[in-house]
Structure 1
Amino acid sequence: MKREIKHICLAEDDPDDHYLFLEVLTEIDRNIKLSWFQNCEELLQFLKTTSELPCLIVMDMNMPKMSGQNCLISIKKELNLYNIPVIIFSTASEPSIIDTAQKAGAYKYIVKPFSLTEFRNIVREILATTLP
């Protein structure tokens, strides 16, 4: 049985990418809550203190302060966060970076597109993800 996505945490330092993600998400389903964090430290602080854990985390690899890779490792070390799927959504497309993220526990790795149409399709793909 497919679990419905009701809450997504987005770790993205680029306000334009956040805005696009939010706009497309709202077009598709206004009922999905999106919590936005401009760096991994804010995301980790939220995850450690909230009683409302997300169904899914979408994260950029190229983040200020703590990298997405280190953030992913930190999330997967926490027992109560381990089972939350993390999708990496990044411009970093080198095979070694993708492989390292997958070995660290990324559920999926999606390279950011260059067109709005592709961006919409990817958000739809993320929302169609079958959650474990």
Structure 2
Amino acid sequence: MSDGKPTAVLLVEDDENDVRITRRALDRLAQPVDLHVTPDGAAALEWLAAAPTLPDLVFLDINLPKMDGFELLGHLRAHPRLATLPVIMLTTSTRTEDVRRAYAAGASAYVVKPMRYPAFAELMARTLAWWTQDNRLPTHGPTLTAR
């Protein structure tokens, strides 16, 4: 973020290769990023409930085991504490119905992963810069309270 603190990012992604290239792309940015990864929606909800502070951004894949990205997005938007958390769908799906469904469920953005790493790294740099420098994010309190 602009105050010199690392940008806290939650990546909800089950594909280890996608996690690796995302971590690589974020590690190469000038701005520091504190990345936490969960492999599915259920694990993401557990992590958010236990986290002392909420992330600044969530990158969320659609196709996940246990609880898919759409279901997790629904849980996030239904919880008063998480409702304004910026959630960026980060997926390989270009299906119009997935885009519509994501925005209808409350996605903040829908980004399609490029197939080549240089394009992916550039996309991540632009996306993170927009969300953390150009855009004003809501302030989240220090803890998530159970409902």
CA contact (8 A) 2:6 2:31 kept: no
Q: Match of 1:28, SS?
A: coil
Q: 1:90 to 1:25 in 2, by over 3 A?
A: same
Which residue of the partner structure matches residue 61 of structure 1?
62
CA contact (8 A) 2:6 2:32 kept: no
Amino acid at match of 2:66: K
Displacement after TM superposition at 1:29 (Å): 3.7
Residues 47-100 of structure 1 deviation map (CA, whole Å, 9 limit, x = unaligned): 112112100000100111111000100111111111110000001111111011
Query: Partners of 2:45 and 2:30 in 1: how far apart?
Result: 26
CA contact (8 A) 1:91 1:112 kept: yes
Q: 1:100 to 1:38 in 2, by over 3 A?
A: same
Q: How does 1:101-120 map to 2 (within 5 A)?
A: 101-120=102-121
Unaligned ranges ≥5, structure 1: none
User: Structure 1: which 4+ aligned runs deviate by more than 4 Å?
Assistant: 2-5
Displacement after TM superposition at 1:31 (Å): 2.4
Displacement after TM superposition at 1:131 (Å): 4.2
Which residue of the partner structure matches residue 82 of structure 2?
81
Which residue of the partner structure matches residue 98 of structure 1?
99
The CA RMSD over aligned residues, in Å, is 1.7
Amino acid at match of 2:13: E
Matched-pair identity in %: 27
Query: Partners of 1:82 and 1:35 in 2: how far apart?
Result: 20
Query: Partners of 1:28 and 1:45 in 2: how far apart?
Result: 28
Query: Partners of 2:98 and 2:19 in 1: how far apart?
Result: 22
Unaligned ranges ≥5, structure 2: 138-147
Query: Partners of 1:104 and 1:131 in 2: how far apart?
Result: 21
Q: Match of 1:125, SS?
A: helix
Amino acid at match of 1:7: A
The farther-off stretch of 102-111 and 29-38 is: 29-38
Query: Partners of 1:38 and 1:55 in 2: how far apart?
Result: 19
Q: Match of 1:113, SS?
A: coil
Amino acid at match of 1:44: L
